[in-house]
Amino acid sequence: MLFNYCSTAMPPRKLLVFLTTFLVALFTFSDPSFAAANNVSIDFPYFTLRNLTLLGDSYLRNGVVGLTRELGVPSSSAGTMIYNKPITFFDSDSNVTASFSTRFSFSITNINPSTFGDGLAFFLSPDNQTLGSPGGYLGLVNSSQLTKNKFLAIEFDTRLDPHFDDPNENHVGLDIESLISIKTGDAMLQGIDLKSGNWITAWIDYVNGKRKLHVSLSYSSFKPENPVLSVDIDLSDYLKPVMYVGFSASTEGSTELHLIQNWSFSTFGFVPARPRLSPHNVSDSSVTVKPAIPVPSSGSKHHKRIGFGLGIAGLAFFFVVLLVFGYVSVRKWRGIRTQMSFKAELLAGPREFSYKELKSATKGFHSSRIIGNGAFGTVYKALFASSRSGTIAAVKRSKHSHEGKTEFLAELSIIASLRHKNLIQLLGWCVAKGELLLVYDFMPNGSLDKMLYQESDQATSLNWSHRLNIAIGLASVLTYLHQECEQQVIHRDIKTGNVLLDGSFNARLGDFGLAKLMDHDKSPVSTLTAGTMGYLAPEYLQYGKATEKTDVFSYGVVILEVACGRRPIEREPGSLKMVNLVDWVWGLHSQGKIIEAADKRLNGEFEEEEMRKLLLVGLSCANPDNVERPTMRRVLQILNNEVEPLVVPRIKPTLSFSYGLPCLDDIVSESEEEEEEDSESSISLSEIRVC
């Protein structure tokens, strides 16, 4: 508003003079010599979202921060919590490096004790966007760029990872720009089990004058005399002038849950240049500076002090107004530039909807219009009054504009350039009010998983003809993405929840938020493992390399679900034992009884040879050895009776990884998005054994 007023009401020359004066004042005010470094003290007896940034899978619940996904079955997860405000650790004027001390309470618990890892870390980093890979990387570094992130961290490691020279699965270590600890301490020597599930209080103290760092642990609030870890080290070379502090954690094939309950942090060692008039309050945290002690004086001096104080207050207020004006102006300028960039790139593509139009069509995004939830956000049914927009559509609305922006841009840039009858049609988009929205054709029959697993009798409406047509349609669109596009598209999240059904039960593939474009002649690059556990190929879980064969594996799992009417893993009736769908079908195949895997709800109303062929195609695609999996073009030819089916071995092949990486043993996971979409359905799980 202020920007609009100044830019329209003020003449250009005066506006230029004003902006020049503003910039001079801004730079003068931000000059490091203008104010000396001060000691900082922050305290969170409990957490709120103010002054904190949550990245990855981290979340806030009842004043406690969870750093990794809270699931009842093993998953791969990484999350970070960062304090928003940068903290000064080096004062160039006095050439002093700060000492620091922090205290926090954490809990590492495990729903399934047979799976564990990988732990959490307290870190200091010059970057306020620190988020790394799951697994042994503790959410600190990316598995494909081990040296990219700069950090100083204290790790609380619950897994022995030989790659990082870990001594055991219950240790504390000092990490500096590497996950190979400079020194470690065994927590069990002080009777501390990091995975006990109990609340553990940790103290981390660094005294720069003594060049010593100590880490102490206790189940109580009393600090023990002897630290778990003591390191003689000079951190002045690693503590940058300004750094961010926070916590990160990760899992891989584990149900380990990492919680932070409270946190205090302080720096000391700086000599304040002058006292401040009052403490500086920072919401839940506070930066405390001792106020000046008043000295009695005469009345005239008292009036002079009042005048002087008012002058300073007025000047400070003026600077605040300038800063706010500058901030608002820059934000608005960036927003205008971003939207202009969007419009320029998408001028010939899908239309831009107004936020008002989408809000009206969804009744203000009312809960009664919700038709699904996913990793990107919530999907609403939209009824448009305008005939040019169509009468019904689906609007996908992001939960968090910051975290969802990457996925939004990925989905928009990819799907807008694709055309296939078995792809969800993108009608338009909207970027407004910090939200990201995509508008699609509405699919009246919903998602394939709901149609297969809903408890009502409507699942029987998905007859054999529909199921075979879905398998062929999905094979057709994947053939298009893998081999017929100018640039190959690896979807990376093929699952029944992302296969939607139109009014004629034709399959429409959607959700390209995890998709990756790549040239056909380029080898796949190592990347952060993404997708939904239960549909991920063994080699993708092991190495994080997405190829067209990882999509083929996911397709195989989906096809077996379509034929059998069973989830990737289901609990055996009357037992706690989990039954793996691929193993179960392969077991029947080895006995020559594969046709018994057919969905009983079909009541035998199917062509037996077609059912046998579909089951064998599913097994061939879900082969643990990616070399033996067919291409999607070959799958489509088989289903269209253009070529002979592949020979599927009677015994499920075993696969050994030989690159010196640890074995991924007994991974059991679920589709967390399916659990969100249908809380009343049975848990969707999958089990993969790779040895």
Cα(684)–Cα(669) distance, integer angstroms: 8
Q: Using an 8 Å Cβ cutoff, are 51 and 84 in contact?
A: yes
Contact between 551 and 632 under an 8 Å Cβ cutoff? The reply is yes
Catalytically annotated residue among 157, 175, 493, 599: 493
Confirm if 371 and 409 have CB atoms less than 8 A apart: no
Query: How many Å apart are CA 70 and CA 72, to the nearest integer?
Result: 7
Name residues whose C-beta falls within 8 Å of residue 443's C-beta, 6 or more positions apart in sequence: 394, 424, 500, 501, 502, 508
Helix ranges (H only) for 526-607 are 538-543, 548-564, 581-590
**In the numeric block, which tokens belong to residue 377?**
């956000």
* SS3 labels along 234-297: CHHHCCCCEEEEEEEEEEEEECEEEEEEEEEEEEECCCCCCCECCCEEECCEEECCCECCCCCC
- In this structure, what are the phi and psi dihedrals at residue 225, rounded to the nearest 5 degrees? -70, -40
User: How far apart are the two ends of the chain, measured CA to CA in Å?
Assistant: 63
Q: How far apart are CA 589 and CA 578, in angstroms?
A: 19
The one-letter code for the residue type at 76 is S
Structure tokens, 408: 């939004």
Burial of 276 (0-12, 13-18, 19+ CB in 10 A): middle
Examine the residue annotation and report whether 205 is marked as an active-site residue of this protein. no
Residue count (the chain): 691
Pairs from 22-30 (Cβ < 8 Å, separation ≥ 24): 22/322, 22/325, 22/326, 25/319, 25/322, 26/322, 26/323, 26/326, 29/319, 29/323
Q: What are phi and psi of 201, to 5 degrees?
A: -95, 130
Of the candidates 303, 277, 301, the one whose C-alpha atom is nearest the C-alpha of residue 289 is 277
Q: Specify which residues 488 forms β-bridges with.
A: 518
Give CA–CA dist 477/496, Å, rounded.
15
Helix axes 464-479, 632-639, angle to 10 degrees: 150
Local structure of 526: helix, strand or coil: strand
C-alpha angle 413/415/419, rounded to 5°? Answer: 130
42, 413, 470, 631, 640 from 512: Cα distances, Å: 41, 10, 19, 20, 27
Q: Would you tell me how many other CB atoms lie within 10 Å of the CB of residue 420? A: 18
Could you list the active site residues? 493
